[in-house]
Structure 1
Amino acid sequence: MLVIRPIAPSDYAALYDCAVESGHGFTSLPVDQGLLERRISRAQEAFARQQVSEPGDEGYLFVMEDTSNGHICGVSGIEAAVGLTDAFYHYHMGKVVHHSKALDIYNALDTLTLCNDYTGVSELCTLFLREPFRKGLNGRTLSRFRMLFMAEFKSRFSDWVIAEMRGVSDDNGDSPFWTWLQQNFFSMDFPQADYLTGIGEKTFVAELMPKFPIYVNLLDKAARDVIGQVHDNTRPALKLLQSEGFRFRGYIDIFDAGPTVEAEVSNLRSVRNSRRVEVRIGEPTGGEAHIICNTSLANFRAAQVQLSVDDGRVTLDAASASALQLSDGDLARIVAL
């Protein structure tokens, strides 16, 4: 059974492997021992905080584990509120109009303006499923369970949530958008800039990034063509989030120009359709694929299970209930897959 749970210090080696396998452009999983260890420690602190009335600097990190052998299949995270301790940068796509009535000339030009507009909102992040497990509904489960977690612990998160999508880069980690920025404003390649951001070294952004709006028509064609576009490996994740209600509102990553999508938490499909049910231990009969999670914070567990709902109750076999740390009569939250 594949069970999602809070990350533990013993998961470090698997988290490091995920960082290596995720490749260039996956900013939230840099190949850096110190940072990965701090992310695990920070997550443990977040899960240990019992009294949280509003979102702060908590970072919740989960792993998907195969309970039959202990192998870690993937990782997934939620940031409670971004930009509270480190500046959280984006480019916002806008327009300026150059108009001369006397000459009868009208030009509407696209611009990119550096901003911190998403400061304080929650973020779905660090979603990575390892290659052997990219089948069935595993990817959907590893992404969507986070919305059940947010529905269950509403006070810990903002009313709005975003997700940054990886932008276009090649196998060597070269980004057409960054290449233009590098030539004009920076003297470092994309992997180095991406890595520095991933480990929290963001001062170079404020020091070197152009402060005034960039006219898009001044970029070369290769850079213009990838604005708001996603990496091929990211298309399934974007499609899933769009089905949940996430929308692109013109904010892009400052390094690879990948789109950032946003949604109101209460309007997410999985949040609206999830509900609490009572658990019975027994022999289930048929049913549909659901994501089910317990209502514990520190001992949170979630998984994909075949369930049928009868008068606000679901039946779980003893093994599944044990893996999810659920007992007869407990409450659980479910949503259909």
Structure 2
Amino acid sequence: MMYVRPVGDDDVDALIQLFSGAGDRLNGMSSIRPEYEFVAPRVARARKAWTDAGALPAENDYFLVLVDGETERIVGTSTIYSMIGLSEPFFSYRVGTQVAASRELGVYRKTRTLYLSNDYTGVAEVASLFLHRDYIGSGNGRLISLSRMLFMAQHPDRFPERVMAEMRGFQNEDGSSPFWEGLGRHFFTLPFPEADRLSATGNKVFIAELMPRHPIYVPLLPEAAQEAIGKVHPNTEPARRLLESEGFRWQGYVDIFDGGASLDARIGDLRAVHESALEVVTEGINLPDDDPLLIATTGVDSFRCVVLPRYRIDEGRLEIDADTMRTLGVQGGETVRVTPLRPGRTVL
């Protein structure tokens, strides 16, 4: 059984191994790096978040891992940052419109522009979604992604009203970024991977010092850079579709490095959040198949989340099998939070 849990102190080596085998799949994913110098401090920060009281404002990193229960191998990751942009500025480009008009000349022209913005300051962020290539598919991405929403639903005091997600931007087959080559490189004189690495390691001061403060007129950019605005990497398309099916929307913000879309939503409006409910569990046998549920425990550091394909609702209690109860670490009579795994399915 696949399950999601908080990252542990002993997971550093397993995470390094997971990320080291990813190759170019990590290109443009600034929140994931395979180096010990990046992984170990991040795990330490995450452990503090999982054991902290969680009072806002705080930039907690609720780092989650996906585990194959048969082997106890870590095969995926995701995270929720409780707030962003508090200790260091969080930059985005906001796609805008500038209008020039002259009645005398009969001219009316709308021009797309890019404005450097800190509009996402103080919102939560979901990030670091990654799966080992052998575990892509079979609903694993949905499990590790939506588990974050059940945690936010259960612990609203730990998060602000809104949440965003940066989507990895489009890249050419050689790993280069058309948006970076057409815009960022002119101000940073750095190759895209190096700028992305500096951002990932927290060295964001150079952004504030070197980025232009005036609007960027999109028509002045190379055509390839223009086309990359709001476009995501092919490997990221499934993640974007999943988030949009849950209520995330593109509001015209893009990443300053690769131009990838930044999606956002009110946490309370997310489908998996507002359709979730608390249920009391009891052990059952000979359970029927039904529309799968996502089921999670209600603790913080004891958080566990799995997909539940077989269950029964009987006299106001949710009957689940003994293996699921052991994986979740719950006993009969305890409360769990559940939500339909997919939109448009049965709501408890």
TM-score, with length taken from structure 2: 0.93
Code of the residue aligned with 1:180 in structure 2: it is G
Code of the residue aligned with 1:164 in structure 2: it is E
1:81 aligned partner:
83
1:202 aligned partner:
204
1:16 aligned partner:
16
Structural mapping, 1:24-63, within 5 Å: 24-49=27-52, 51-63=53-65
Deviation per CA, 1:296-329, whole angstroms, max 9, x where unpaired?
1111111112233334321122222111010110
Code of the residue aligned with 1:209 in structure 2: it is M
Give the drift of 1:54: 2.7
Give the drift of 1:16: 1.9
2:336 aligned partner:
332
Query: Relative to 1, partners in 2 of residues 1:89 and 1:284: Cα closer, same or farther, differing over 3 Å?
Result: farther
Give the drift of 1:284: 4.8
Q: Is 1:164 the equivalent of 2:166?
A: yes
Code of the residue aligned with 1:190 in structure 2: it is F
1:125 to 101, 109, 127: 127
Q: Secondary structure at the match of 1:314?
A: strand
1:66 aligned partner:
68
2:270 aligned partner:
268
Q: Secondary structure at the match of 1:279?
A: strand
d(CA) in 2 for partners of 1:66, 1:302: 12
Task: Out of 99-108 and 265-274, give the one that drifted further.
Answer: 99-108
Unaligned runs of 5+ in 2: 342-348
1:235 aligned partner:
237
Report the number of matched residues: 336
Contact 1:165 1:230 in 2 (8 A): yes
2:293 to 290, 294, 307: 290
Code of the residue aligned with 2:327 in structure 1: it is A
Query: Relative to 1, partners in 2 of residues 1:245 and 1:329: Cα closer, same or farther, differing over 3 Å?
Result: same
Q: Is 1:100 the equivalent of 2:110?
A: no
Task: Out of 236-245 and 12-21, give the one that drifted further.
Answer: 12-21
Contact 2:89 2:118 in 1 (8 A): yes
d(CA) in 1 for partners of 2:164, 2:336: 26
Code of the residue aligned with 2:308 in structure 1: it is V
Unaligned runs of 5+ in 1: none
Task: Out of 280-289 and 118-127, give the one that drifted further.
Answer: 280-289
Code of the residue aligned with 2:3 in structure 1: it is V
Give the drift of 1:96: 1.0
User: Taking every aligned residue pair, what percent have the same amino acid on both sides?
Assistant: 39
Q: Secondary structure at the match of 1:185?
A: helix
1:323 aligned partner:
327
Contact 1:57 1:82 in 2 (8 A): yes
Contact 1:288 1:308 in 2 (8 A): no
Code of the residue aligned with 1:160 in structure 2: it is R
Query: Relative to 1, partners in 2 of residues 1:95 and 1:60: Cα closer, same or farther, differing over 3 Å?
Result: same
2:214 aligned partner:
212
Give the drift of 1:31: 3.0
d(CA) in 1 for partners of 2:293, 2:331: 18
d(CA) in 2 for partners of 1:136, 1:103: 60
Deviation per CA, 1:173-204, whole angstroms, max 9, x where unpaired?
31000001245222110000111111111111
Contact 2:287 2:320 in 1 (8 A): no
d(CA) in 2 for partners of 1:310, 1:133: 34
1:3 aligned partner:
3
Task: Out of 262-271 and 283-292, give the one that drifted further.
Answer: 283-292
Task: Out of 114-123 and 298-307, give the one that drifted further.
Answer: 298-307
d(CA) in 1 for partners of 2:315, 2:118: 47
Task: Out of 250-259 and 292-301, give the one that drifted further.
Answer: 292-301
TM-score, with length taken from structure 1: 0.96
Deviation per CA, 1:75-96, whole angstroms, max 9, x where unpaired?
0100000001111000000011
Task: Out of 179-188 and 35-44, give the one that drifted further.
Answer: 179-188
d(CA) in 2 for partners of 1:79, 1:227: 25
d(CA) in 2 for partners of 1:160, 1:238: 17
Q: Is 1:149 the equivalent of 2:160?
A: no
Give the drift of 1:171: 4.2
Task: Out of 183-192 and 72-81, give the one that drifted further.
Answer: 183-192
1:309 aligned partner:
313
Code of the residue aligned with 2:313 in structure 1: it is V
Query: Relative to 1, partners in 2 of residues 1:171 and 1:312: Cα closer, same or farther, differing over 3 Å?
Result: farther
Q: Tell me the C-alpha RMSD between the 2 structures.
A: 1.4
Contact 1:280 1:313 in 2 (8 A): yes
Deviation per CA, 1:241-299, whole angstroms, max 9, x where unpaired?
11111110000000000000011111100001110000102315113311111111111
Task: Out of 314-323 and 246-255, give the one that drifted further.
Answer: 314-323
Give the drift of 1:9: 2.3
